[in-house]
């Protein structure tokens, strides 16, 4: 039978990164291509302890259907957490639990965008979000990202140009893939522009807790007195990603639509892991965990930067990020970036070609994305040395 | 700020059932309105044992990101399971893991339907699926359901009437809400019609394993030599629903599109519970579990039917289902069904008005849905007695 697929899906190509990920399940390949959090930071012992407790004392609650909005005690806990730490959430806001922060992108697009509507985003940006937006037939409008965040003038131009833009998508902290952190001034400017042009902001903050240097900068949502910011948070880095627990803080009117959308998508997020996260936040010292996690990431970032500086100085140029999981590195103009990535894989090191993160394939970039959180220290040393050797061939 | 929502979501009302469910979290209400599996049947001890093992021996695998298609050993295990038991799956088919069977409805619609496309379904049918279809802007075309399944003549009429129909949605076993089981002849007839009119069938089989009487009838997918059936399976009843693990068996070409859609929706299903289900299927006796589960459901079904017969004979009419979780009962013509449901809730018994399951609110029905799997035996007795008293007022 010949299948007729929906227009929305026909144009979508599988995420290059996830395709590379599959390829790199080959254990002989050193992967700087993944987007996995550092497994050394997972609270595995805590997961064991809490799961024993939950399945011993509340098995039926942990296994039965839950409500779509999420496990009420966890919603309350997260509401406190983001208010106390980030000043996120006003009286008009509420929180619902999602199946990872990815589902926040999905639900936001589902409830806000008709086919053909425009979404304004940083360029480059996280491919998982870009693909999600495209899967609803939304059109992407990229705005270049500078060392201190999105280009504000260009953002305003695009807002003027696209009155049917539905929202502005941004990752202010240690952006994926560039690692760039948006300055406080720019966060305020983005908020002011959204207000001026009557647009929603979708603020994605998956990496907020893995700052390893520099000063804390409050999220855009912390300025939100107007109810125009949808804030996506996640436990994928703070706890672990396999559990698929994220959340969204947004005005209640938007959340009630998202809840209807989520009912139709997956009914609710795994109850057991919502209970587990609640127990973890209630009975363990999150601050010590965050500090340990930051130490692990800092050490790995420093190691990779030291190696890049010693093996690839003059070839790769990059700005050291203040946190997150990625280094965005530029190749010399005369080097064919895609060719370099292919040669790297042939030499058993996988990196992601920067084109993967552009709003369309015809946008040029000579950058690659390097992940430092997944590989072991040994692999970081070995892998960068291989890249260094490769660079000498140019 | 005034929010402009997408057309697809503006027309969607929150599931009446889930709204009632929330209301019935009031512990004073006896709920026959839920759709929860019997908690007595949950393998809670097994969940405890396996979780200890997994978090002790493979914590990083259980907590790290997984691939979108699902945990490979579980995919293999399910592929064997449905082939051996149901003759489901051919060489052109494969299996991917989903976040509950609800996500199969979501992904099927996402990859097959443009806005305005028609989906043909039994009427009444499962509200969660109907809402999901509507959330993609699909138009529903209902076909009446008879005591032995969908009206085949009307199905063919509708197929002629709607050349842009994308698929036929059916729940052949112990349908929700009617409890009706489609006969073997009709299953074959539905398959033949789909083949003749070049349509896909979405076969939803969440209750297959909870047959409590009558002969096993093979799924429509077991006849599928053409690659036109998408088969949705679930662990929500077989194991438990809170874990959100379902699966889909379908032609590989369709699954590859679904995988792209799933990447954009929630990246992957909780890894830990995929591993847990794999361990459970590998190391425990599923057949004994299924037999126990069927005993529990049979006992509850019999109790509710006995009570209905003694308290409401002549008022409520129904056919005893061969399995599943629901009894579909008709009120006398002179009784206002919605009014009856309201009076029931006022008297602390919740039932679902049949209109909740129609393709649109203007479709009439004088039926109500009664769930017998969630309430305790005592509550079944008490609740039906209250309904019986109420009936005497008419």
Q: DSSP string covering B125-193, please? A: --HHHHHHHHHTTPEEEEEEEETTEE-HHHHHHHHHH-TTEEEEEE--SS-TTT-----HHHHHHHHHH
Closest Cα partner for B138 from B3, B265, B11, B5? Answer: B11
The answer to whether residue A54 is domain-embedded is no
DSSP 8-state code for residue A317: B
Closest Cα partner for A261 from A114, A35, A110? Answer: A110
Q: By CB neighbour count within 10 A (0-12 exposed, 13-18 middle, 19+ buried), where does A320 fall?
A: middle
What are the start-end ranges of the E strands in chain A? 30-31, 93-98, 118-123, 139-146, 149-150, 165-170, 200-204, 229-234, 246-251, 326-330, 349-350, 352-353, 367-371
For chains A and B, CB pairs below 8 A equal: 261
Both A232 and A368 in a single domain?
no
Point out the residue among A67, A102, A117 whose CB comes nearest to the CB of B266: A102
In the beta sheet, which residues pair with residue A150? A145
The answer to whether residue A200 is domain-embedded is yes
Q: Last residue of a domain, which of B283, B306, B336?
A: B283
H or E element that contains B211: none
Interface touch A270/B270, C-beta < 8 Å: yes
State residue A181's pLDDT score: 98
The answer to whether residue A56 is domain-embedded is no
The alpha carbon of residue B97 is apart from the nearest alpha carbon of chain A, in Å, by 13
Point out the residue among B48, B260, B267 whose CB comes nearest to the CB of A14: B260
Overall average pLDDT of the A277-297 stretch: 97
The alpha carbon of residue A340 is apart from the nearest alpha carbon of chain B, in Å, by 26
Interface touch B35/A271, C-beta < 8 Å: no
Please count the helices (runs of H) and the strands (runs of E) in chain A.
Answer: 14, 13
The alpha carbon of residue A103 is apart from the nearest alpha carbon of chain B, in Å, by 5
Helix residue ranges, H only, B4-64: 7-10, 16-23, 44-57, 59-63
Chain A interface test: which of B2, B4, B6, B62 (most A C-beta within 10 Å): B6
CATH number of domain containing B112: 3.40.640.10
H or E element that contains A99: none
Point out the residue among B1, B39, B63 whose CB comes nearest to the CB of A227: B1
Residue of B nearest to A40 (CA): B60
Provide the terminal-to-terminal Cα distance of chain A, rounded to the nearest Å.
50
Interface touch A3/B63, C-beta < 8 Å: no
Overall average pLDDT of the A173-190 stretch: 98
Residue of A nearest to B65 (CA): A242
The answer to whether residue A86 is domain-embedded is yes
Interface touch A22/B64, C-beta < 8 Å: no
**Which residues in chain B have their CB less than 8 angstroms from residue A7's CB?**
114
Interface touch A9/B226, C-beta < 8 Å: no
The answer to whether residue A167 is domain-embedded is yes
CATH number of domain containing A365: 3.90.1150.10
Both B30 and B63 in a single domain?
no
Residue of B nearest to A132 (CA): B264
Both B116 and B161 in a single domain?
yes
Interface touch B242/A272, C-beta < 8 Å: yes
The stretches in chain B having pLDDT less than 50 are: none
Residue B27 vs residue A347, higher pLDDT: A347
Point out the residue among B52, B65, B227 whose CB comes nearest to the CB of A36: B65
ipTM of the shown complex? 0.95
The alpha carbon of residue B256 is apart from the nearest alpha carbon of chain A, in Å, by 9
State residue B232's pLDDT score: 98
The mean of the pLDDT values for chain A is 95
Q: Last residue of a domain, which of B218, B252, B283?
A: B283
Residue of A nearest to B166 (CA): A4
Point out the residue among B18, B44, B268 whose CB comes nearest to the CB of A55: B44
Interface touch B52/A56, C-beta < 8 Å: no
Both B186 and B100 in a single domain?
yes
**Which residues in chain B have their CB less than 8 angstroms from residue A65's CB?**
34-36, 236, 241-242
Interface touch A241/B63, C-beta < 8 Å: yes
Both B379 and B268 in a single domain?
no
> Could you give the CA distance from residue B197 to residue B157 in angstroms, rounded to a whole number?
11
State residue B14's pLDDT score: 58
The alpha carbon of residue A333 is apart from the nearest alpha carbon of chain B, in Å, by 33
Residue of A nearest to B2 (CA): A198
Residue of B nearest to A37 (CA): B64
Interface touch A264/B21, C-beta < 8 Å: no
Closest Cα partner for A109 from A37, A175, A204? Answer: A204
The answer to whether residue A59 is domain-embedded is no
The answer to whether residue B1 is domain-embedded is no
Measured CA angle at A122 (ends A91, A243), to 5 deg:
60
State residue B64's pLDDT score: 95
Interface touch B264/A106, C-beta < 8 Å: yes
Interface touch B242/A63, C-beta < 8 Å: yes
Interface touch B102/A265, C-beta < 8 Å: yes
The alpha carbon of residue A385 is apart from the nearest alpha carbon of chain B, in Å, by 27
**Which residues in chain A have their CB less than 8 angstroms from residue B52's CB?**
48, 51-52
Both A29 and A148 in a single domain?
no
User: Residue B199 belongs to what domain range?
Assistant: 58-283
State residue B183's pLDDT score: 98
Interface touch A242/B270, C-beta < 8 Å: yes
The answer to whether residue B50 is domain-embedded is no
> Could you give the CA distance from residue A168 to residue B27 in angstroms, rounded to a whole number?
44
Both B274 and B300 in a single domain?
no
pLDDT in tens, A370-385: 999 999 999 999 999 9
**Which residues in chain B have their CB less than 8 angstroms from residue A67's CB?**
18, 21-22
> Could you give the CA distance from residue A92 to residue A359 in angstroms, rounded to a whole number?
33
Closest Cα partner for B179 from B31, B23, B367? Answer: B367
Overall average pLDDT of the A73-92 stretch: 98
The alpha carbon of residue A47 is apart from the nearest alpha carbon of chain B, in Å, by 7
Q: Last residue of a domain, which of A234, A262, A283?
A: A283
| pTM, full prediction | 0.96
**Which residues in chain B have their CB less than 8 angstroms from residue A13's CB?**
260
Both B271 and B126 in a single domain?
yes
Chain A interface test: which of B10, B65, B66 (most A C-beta within 10 Å): B65
**Which residues in chain B have their CB less than 8 angstroms from residue A100's CB?**
266-267
pLDDT in tens, A268-277: 999 999 999 9
From the CB of residue B342, how many other CB atoms can be counted at a distance below 10 Å?
Answer: 12
Rounded to 10 deg, the angle between the A72-86 and A271-283 helix axes is 50
Both B276 and B386 in a single domain?
no
What are the backbone dihedrals phi and psi of residue A53, each rounded to the nearest 5 degrees, phi first?
-60, -50
State residue B362's pLDDT score: 78
What are the start-end ranges of the E strands in A89-162? 93-98, 118-123, 139-146, 149-150
> Could you give the CA distance from residue A366 to residue A158 in angstroms, rounded to a whole number?
24
Interface touch A67/B18, C-beta < 8 Å: yes
Interface touch B12/A264, C-beta < 8 Å: yes
Both B95 and B240 in a single domain?
yes
Closest Cα partner for A243 from B175, B237, B276, B211? Answer: B276
State residue B21's pLDDT score: 57
Contact present, B231 and B107 (Cβ < 8 Å):
no
Q: CA B315 → CA A289, A374, B343, B348, distances in Å?
A: 62, 65, 15, 19
Residue of A nearest to B270 (CA): A243
State residue B23's pLDDT score: 64
Q: How confident is the model at residue A103 (pLDDT cuts 50, 70, 90)?
A: very high
Structurally, chain B folds into a number of domains equal to: 2
Contact present, A39 and B271 (Cβ < 8 Å):
no
B126 CA to centre of own chain: 6
Sequence-ordered list of residues with C-beta below 8 angstroms from that of A334, at least 6 positions apart, any chain: A394
Both A253 and A385 in a single domain?
no
Go through chain B and tell me how many residues it has.
394
Q: What pairing do the DSSP bridges indicate for beta strands B118-123 and B367-371?
A: unpaired
Q: By CB neighbour count within 10 A (0-12 exposed, 13-18 middle, 19+ buried), where does B386 fall?
A: middle
Both B165 and B303 in a single domain?
no
Residue of A nearest to B267 (CA): A102
Measured CA angle at B285 (ends B284, B288), to 5 deg:
140
Q: What pairing do the DSSP bridges indicate for beta strands B165-170 and B200-204?
A: parallel
**Which residues in chain B have their CB less than 8 angstroms from residue A117's CB?**
6
Q: How confident is the model at residue A338 (pLDDT cuts 50, 70, 90)?
A: confident
Low-confidence winner among A8-17, A292-301, B347-356 (lowest mean pLDDT)? A8-17
Q: What pairing do the DSSP bridges indicate for beta strands B93-98 and B246-251?
A: antiparallel
Sequence-ordered list of residues with C-beta below 8 angstroms from that of B129, at least 6 positions apart, any chain: B102, B105, B121, B169, B204
């Amino acid at each position: 039978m010949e299948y007729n697929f929906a227009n929305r899906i026909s144009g979508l190509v599988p995420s290059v990164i996830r395709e590379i990920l599959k390829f790199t399940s080959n254990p002989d390949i050193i992967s700087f291509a993944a987007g996995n959090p550092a497994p050394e930071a997972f609270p595995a012992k805590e997961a064991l302890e809490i799961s024993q407790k939950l399945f011993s004392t509340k098995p039926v609650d942990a296994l039965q259907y839950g409500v779509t909005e999420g496990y009420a005690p966890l919603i309350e806990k997260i509401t406190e957490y983001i208010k106390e730490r980030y000043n996120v959430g006003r009286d008009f806001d509420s929180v619902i639990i999602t199946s990872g922060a990815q589902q926040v992108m999905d639900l936001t697009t589902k409830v806000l965008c008709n086919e053909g509507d425009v979404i304004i985003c940083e360029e480059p940006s996280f491919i998982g979000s870009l693909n999600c937006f495209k899967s609803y037939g939304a059109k992407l409008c990229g705005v270049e990202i500078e060392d201190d965040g999105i280009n504000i003038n260009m953002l305003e131009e695009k807002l003027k140009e696209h009155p049917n833009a539905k929202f502005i998508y941004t990752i202010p902290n240690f952006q994926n893939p560039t690692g760039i952190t948006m300055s406080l001034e720019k966060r305020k400017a983005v908020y002011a522009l959204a207000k001026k042009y009557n647009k929603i902001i979708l603020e994605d903050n998956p990496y907020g807790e893995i700052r390893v240097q520099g000063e804390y900068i409050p999220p855009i949502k912390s300025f939100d007195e107007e109810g125009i910011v949808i804030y996506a948070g996640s436990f994928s880095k703070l706890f672990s990603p396999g559990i698929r627990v994220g959340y969204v803080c947004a005005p209640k009117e938007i959340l009630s639509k998202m809840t209807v959308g989520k009912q139709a998508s997956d009914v609710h997020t795994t109850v057991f892991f919502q209970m587990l996260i609640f127990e973890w936040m209630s009975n363990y010292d999150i601050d010590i965990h965050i500090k340990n996690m930051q130490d692990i990431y800092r050490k790995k970032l420093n190691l990779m930067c030291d190696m890049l500086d010693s093996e690839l100085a003059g070839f790769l140029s990059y700005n050291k990020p203040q946190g997150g999981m990625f280094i965005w590195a530029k190749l010399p103009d005369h080097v064919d970036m895609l060719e370099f990535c292919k040669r790297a894989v042939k030499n058993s090191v996988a990196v992601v070609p920067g084109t993967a993160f552009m709003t369309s394939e015809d946008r040029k970039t000579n950058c690659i994305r390097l992940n430092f959180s997944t590989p072991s220290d040994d692999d970081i040393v070995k892998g960068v040395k291989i890249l260094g050797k490769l660079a000498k061939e140019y």
